[in-house]
Structure 1
């Protein structure tokens, strides 16, 4: 197994690393960089870095930066299937990263929100052994329609499907019942702990993973520096500790985990080794500025 298709968002990240709290009504010094990002692009890039072959990403970007994003994905080993919107700019995320490496994000989804059923073609599953959906795809109605078609086509082709919920803020606005309906039929759910708590109603990681595993095939809960836990059919089946690292920027760490985890599954790893691979990729991600592996 090797082929991975990721569907979701590719955006431009503005990463601002500041020390101390943001100062209201005046300037806060920061080191600011402009980088390619977006959960789908990030996950695909980390999967390629982690050894997955034939990694592709389907996303919608604006004409303002389509060539730049296509080139950045190619440099990361990812084939970009980018739908270019002439009338909308590429989405932009401002990531405010504090001195503890934790980030808060201000998001303009831009063209990413326009991905729709017309952009989907079952032929995109040719050569694909795993389909991964970024949760951002499921928040707008048009994206949910595409997701339903892609999940149905993948299941008909015997291709397993995973979903990363991606954002508690958007999840809360959408509503848990709507999200759970949109993710119905997936094989693997990969939330972080806060997303798992919101989706399951359980506070403890193990309880949340167990509850979520009763409605998806496998629930993998990302615990940041504490590692990850996997449950299936109401029972914990694997755990992995976090990988110590000197964190500078947590942007994209969850996407990196998903990429490393999926690459390991594609290589035939069991859940224990796949969790460990995800944790290793996540540790690499927080040690660099930006959401993708360094290229070159």
Structure 2
């Protein structure tokens, strides 16, 4: 994939490039600006609540790419869409994290913005207010089959399923990957958006995905099960490998046709849980692509998640 910010149009998407042994990791997903507001206790409706506020680079897709590079993946590339307002900044931040970006600049829509409300009295739990902006305008015109030259694995951010344009892109990527026999993973990304999309529709859209990485809430929503291991087992009848993330309870690894295995989390006092699931996914993929077994890769994901929650924002240190 060529680096750099490019103008929108009938784009060729990510171009081919030299790959590491076994092929590069290509992440296709959202790049957004996070405004993280850390406060203590309940918000005071109708008046002021004191907070520490920072503007940080974010987006589930971009975060996964950065964490995969941070945890040792030697060749990570990202395809995303941004507005002209912040494209150059996001490109610099991705490059600084070891990710080769291909950012399509939307001429009409600004970069997506997420307000992250982080309650420090509630274990760093976060609530999102999301304006997806240009991120979900990433579409088939931004893709070409040549984007898979040198690619050994594709990861899709589930946020792409939440607009008609980016859903069409997901379908195009899956067709290209299946034709080239490149495995694809996907993280459902948002239980709230997933509920609006509908579980049956989601499961139809992800047909052909090799690895599904839902959160506990997403796995239970998709199956109607109340327990994460059962939910992962049910999903593994549709997807060859399900790795369900459970935060402080670790993860559940459910290969198709085998009993689910629990992987413990590392004990840690969280400061900010923003991007913890993205860190898990990046760490998991880095280990999996290096040859680790799924359970060992999930343990690496737990280590990355533990590192993430000690920090403010969704990106790794550099």
CA distance in 2, matches of 1:54, 1:292: 17
Q: How many residues align?
A: 295
CA distance in 1, matches of 2:280, 2:98: 17
Any runs of at least 4 consecutive aligned residues in structure 1 with deviations exceeding 6 A, and if so which? none
CA distance in 2, matches of 1:254, 1:273: 17
CA distance in 2, matches of 1:133, 1:160: 11
Deviation at 1:240, TM superposition (A): 1.2
CA distance in 2, matches of 1:273, 1:158: 24
For the pair 1:219 / 2:237, whether they are aligned, the reply is no
Residue in structure 1 matching 2:111, options 84, 90, 97: 90
8 Å CA contact retained: 1:218, 1:231: yes
Q: Deviations over 1:84-137 (max 9, x none)?
A: 012110000000000120000000000011111110111111111110000001
CA distance in 2, matches of 1:234, 1:170: 29
Gaps of 5+ in 2: 1-21
Deviation at 1:152, TM superposition (A): 1.5
Residue in structure 2 matching 1:195, options 213, 218, 238: 218
For the pair 1:42 / 2:80, whether they are aligned, the reply is no
Gaps of 5+ in 1: none
CA distance in 2, matches of 1:7, 1:132: 6
Please, what TM-score do these two structures have when normalized by structure 1? 0.98
Please, what TM-score do these two structures have when normalized by structure 2? 0.91
Q: Deviations over 1:220-267 (max 9, x none)?
A: 100101111111224335331001122100000000000000000100
Residue in structure 2 matching 1:8, options 29, 40, 48: 29
For the pair 1:28 / 2:28, whether they are aligned, the reply is no
In the alignment, what sits opposite 1:209?
Answer: 232
CA distance in 2, matches of 1:5, 1:50: 15
In the alignment, what sits opposite 1:126?
Answer: 149
**Which secondary structure state, in structure 1, belongs to the residue aligned with residue 308 of structure 2?**
helix
In the alignment, what sits opposite 1:63?
Answer: 84
In the alignment, what sits opposite 2:277?
Answer: 254
8 Å CA contact retained: 1:11, 1:37: yes
CA distance in 1, matches of 2:147, 2:261: 32
Deviation at 1:52, TM superposition (A): 0.5
In the alignment, what sits opposite 2:179?
Answer: 156
CA distance in 2, matches of 1:237, 1:199: 17
8 Å CA contact retained: 1:7, 1:134: yes
Residue in structure 2 matching 1:54, options 75, 80, 84: 75
